[in-house]
Amino acid sequence: MFKIFQEAKPIKWIYNQRSTIDFSPTYQRRGRLWKKSQKQLLIDSILNELDIPKFYFQFMPPVINNTHYNYAIIDGKQRIETILGFIDNEFPLSDQFVFLDCSLTQQFGDISGKYFSELEKAVPALIARFWQYELNIVFMDTTAPDIINELFVRLNSSVPVSTSEKRNANGGALSEKIQELCDSSLFFTKKIRIANRRFAHNDLALKLLMLETGEWDLTQKSVDKFLHDNRDFYSCRIAFENFEHNVNQIAEVFEDRDNLLSKKNIIITLYTVLPYIPVNKMRLFMQYFEDYRTVAQLEGNIADNMSLLSEFTRLLQQGADKKSSIQERCNIMKQYIYEFLDCN
């Protein structure tokens, strides 16, 4: 079934329905990407009663929905979060705010730099207008995920949607499993020191899973093919269990927001050498390895082993997702593991 209809809903409706709206369906990008100035410009447009782009919601009636949500945002998440954030006093109006209609300035005065709570007290009539500002919402009534995922990608095709976001939107059951792991595993939520902007954690998780299956080519084309071939999750479920076990073990020995886990390509290389290093010595080894690499960068290629480390650093920066690069980094790190274990 596929139906589409459009309605104008006041901001007050969005505010009252916010607990029934799913802001983070699997295809959706992470929120909080807008700068403060962008948020203020949107509120400026609303208070000046200018048109803003349509919103796209998936309609999910309770009879076909196992969650407490009635709607999911397909497009417009940043704008909805901005409107709700303004209402919750997360940011004020711009200091340069002006009404485009001079009669409104005469009616409401200078409101620049004020928070929502201040406006409620000072100019309640303006807030009443704000609540009644109508948002044009296109509702899509369908249970077919492929239609929703395709619409999300198409709507965002003029916006710099990252490769990871597109993969997350089109990855089916596998993307859902990866999202669940990234939301629950201490490795992703507490240990790695990588900001989760634009599904960066999901991208890392997918590449580590590929390594677990024996696929070492992590270039974009290869990753996209892997995701397409394993959308149903069933064919890679055993590898996923092993991958989940491995990252949970790593999480046990590293510190929260560990600097040793701050680079994606270092983490990928570490994953390739897991069979060669005892878990309880893993962090000690990484500290040992990074200390030597720092010395190599400072002193240059004085000795053969320093030359190897310089090559390792080069491989991290050039063609890092290529199979040959990952294999060579693995071989270099293995040499240092053997030296480390001999001394420890």
- Residue-wise pLDDT tens digits, 95-148: 999 898 888 889 999 999 999 999 999 999 999 999 999 999 888 776 555 555
Query: Which segments in the chain show pLDDT lower than 70?
Result: 1-2, 26-32, 61-67, 142-172, 198, 297-306
Q: What pLDDT, on a 0 to 100 scale, did the predictor assign at position 144?
A: 53
Q: What pLDDT, on a 0 to 100 scale, did the predictor assign at position 82?
A: 95
Per DSSP (E only), the strands in the chain are 2-10, 21-22, 55-59, 71-75, 134-142
Q: Cα–Cα distances in Å, from 141 out to 136, 138, 145?
A: 16, 10, 11
Q: What pLDDT, on a 0 to 100 scale, did the predictor assign at position 304?
A: 52
Q: What pLDDT, on a 0 to 100 scale, did the predictor assign at position 27?
A: 59
Is residue 139 a contact partner of residue 5, using CB atoms and an 8 Å limit?
A: yes
**pTM score:** 0.56
pLDDT digits (tens, 9 = 90+) for 38-86: 999 999 999 998 889 888 888 776 544 556 778 888 888 889 999 999 9
Distance between alpha carbon 1 and the CA centroid of its chain, in Å? Answer: 30
Burial of 43 (0-12, 13-18, 19+ CB in 10 A): buried
Q: What pLDDT, on a 0 to 100 scale, did the predictor assign at position 295?
A: 78
How far apart are the C-alpha atoms of 127 and 11, rounded to whole Å? 11
